[in-house]
Structure formats: structure tokens, C-alpha cells
Amino acid sequence: MDDEPAESGGERGTWSRRRVLAGLGAAGMAAAATVIPFSQVPTGETTSGTTANAGGPATRQWGFVVDLRRCSGYRKCTAACQKEYQLPKDHEWTKTLERVDEEGRKQFFPRRCMMCENPPCLKVCPTGATFKNENGVVLVDQDRCIGCRMCMVACPYEARYFHFEDPPKSANPFARPTPEFPVPQQKGTVGKCVLCVSNTAKGKIPFCVDACPTDAFYVADLNADVMTNGSGETFQLSKYLYDNDAFRYKEELNTSPRVWYVGGHGQDVPY
């Protein structure tokens, strides 16, 4: 298995290189057809529970799709994330679980923060350090985090990590961590996936999406009903999820995750 760290960034990481669907919102969309900047894709109507700009279009509401049929366990997504956010090796914001089926075939399941609509971590945070931004992304303000780790106990996806040690010094001496780009990490606080909101705000895709060599990861805008991966494959989100019988991990817990999975080859996912 290739665990070599992936190179991130470059041309592949910009929305301007993305092909998007012609006639967004029309029935029967299934493949990329037009080359336009993703930032120009209309956001459409505001979804339930989301926030719209006052007097303007609805904000983008970010989600994520993992096509397990494509995941080969290279873990380049993890390496890219750890590199960009200067994480310890045991902090895997995308953790790829592995199992062997009855026929001896390896199966992989990337587990990450589910960006829940109903996040248990947010409810138990005593200081309000955990919050959800206007794009539906759950973030942590490490300046407010007191390290009580209640959020870690509450999270059913084991998606949070506590910083017991001082983080590596940032290459930028003026670096100042923010909830959107928590670099360097802060000792005594909790960290988690931020869905690379500092990238999407500038028209770039998340580092893990860009690094995936099999294009198994898709970032999605729920309002525009669009999803795209590192190769620019672009689909109508709702149609893709329906046609491929997508599911959400531990959906029975009523957390309403914003991460969808497409099953590998009909196998169970007992993670």
C-alpha cells in the first residue's frame, strides 16, 4: 500500500479548472458539460436550516461524498491533510479504516467529521468553542476551547483529537491560528476536520479531494445540488446519491450527517 505523502495544491486544486453541469437544476443531469468557474455556479434556493445572505443569494452549504467503489486505501488524503494542517501522525482527520471480507478482499472506509446538521459535539461544549458557520461547517475556536474534551466523548464518529503536546512550529513566524485554518495547532485544545473552508472560500477544493489519486472524494454544495472531485468530474448531487443508493454513516443516531457514502460492491460496512 502506498502511504507516500501526497503533493497538494497546484492547478488541480482550483475551482476555475472544474467542469460543471449545464443547466443546473434541470432534470436528467448526470455528467459534466460546460467549463465555467465553480464560483459562478448559482447557489439555488436555501435548504432547510441553512443561512442566506440578507437580500442576496443563498450561501453555499458544503457537504461531502465518498465513493467507496473507488477508494483503494492509499491514504494520500490523510497525508495531505496532516501536511497542510501540521498535524501529528496520530491525528488523522480523515482516518481510512480497513477490513478483509469473506473472500479475502480488502475494503476501505474513510471516516471523517460528518459535519452534522445536528452535531452532538456542539451541544455539549461549555464555552461555545464548537460552532457551525454560515456554510454549515462545524468548526472549533481554539482560543475558546478549554480542553474539557466533552466534544470528543459526544462525537459518535471519533473525529476529534486532543493536542497533548506542543505542535510543530509553523514555517510562518507570523502564523495565527483561526477556526477556519487552525495552524499552528494549540496545546490543550481539540482539533478536527475543517472541510478546508479556507480553500473553498477562495475557490479551491479541499486538500484531501485534490490529493485522492482515485478521485473517490467529492466536495458538494447542497444549495446548488452539485458535487465535484479532483479530476473535475461534476454531477448533480441529488441524482448521484439516488442513482447510487448512497447512505450516511450511523444515520440512525439522528445527527443528520452531511457526508454521504456510496457502497463499494454491495458489501456491508460494519465500522
Query: 153 phi and psi, to 5 degrees?
Result: -70, -40
Per the domain annotation, does 267 fall within a domain?
no
Per the domain annotation, does 269 fall within a domain?
no
Per the domain annotation, does 236 fall within a domain?
yes
CATH code of residue 24: 3.30.70.20
Domain count, the chain: 1
Rounded Cα gap, residues 143 and 191, in angstroms: 12
Task: Output the nine-digit C-alpha cell for 190.
Answer: 481539540
Per the domain annotation, does 224 fall within a domain?
yes
- Phi and psi based region of residue 95 (left: phi greater than 0; alpha: psi -120 to 50; beta: remaining): beta
Per the domain annotation, does 4 fall within a domain?
no
Rounded Cα gap, residues 261 and 37, in angstroms: 26
Give CA separation, 165 vs 12, 53, 58, in Å: 34, 40, 41
Rounded Cα gap, residues 244 and 112, in angstroms: 21
Rounded Cα gap, residues 86 and 80, in angstroms: 10
Rounded Cα gap, residues 34 and 37, in angstroms: 10
Domain encompassing residue 135: 11-262
Q: Which residue(s) pair with 95 in the sheet? A: 111
- Per-residue confidence in pLDDT tens, the chain, 271 aa: 444 333 333 444 433 333 322 233 332 343 343 333 444 444 544 444 444 344 445 589 999 999 999 999 999 999 999 999 999 999 999 999 998 888 888 889 999 999 999 999 999 999 999 999 999 999 999 999 999 999 999 999 999 999 999 877 777 778 889 999 999 999 999 999 999 999 999 889 999 999 999 999 999 999 999 999 999 999 999 999 999 999 999 999 999 999 999 987 555 555 5
Per the domain annotation, does 50 fall within a domain?
yes
Per the domain annotation, does 212 fall within a domain?
yes
DSSP states of 29-77 as a string?
--S--EE--GGGS---SPPTT--B-TTSPBPP-EEEEEETTT--S--HH
Rounded Cα gap, residues 62 and 60, in angstroms: 6
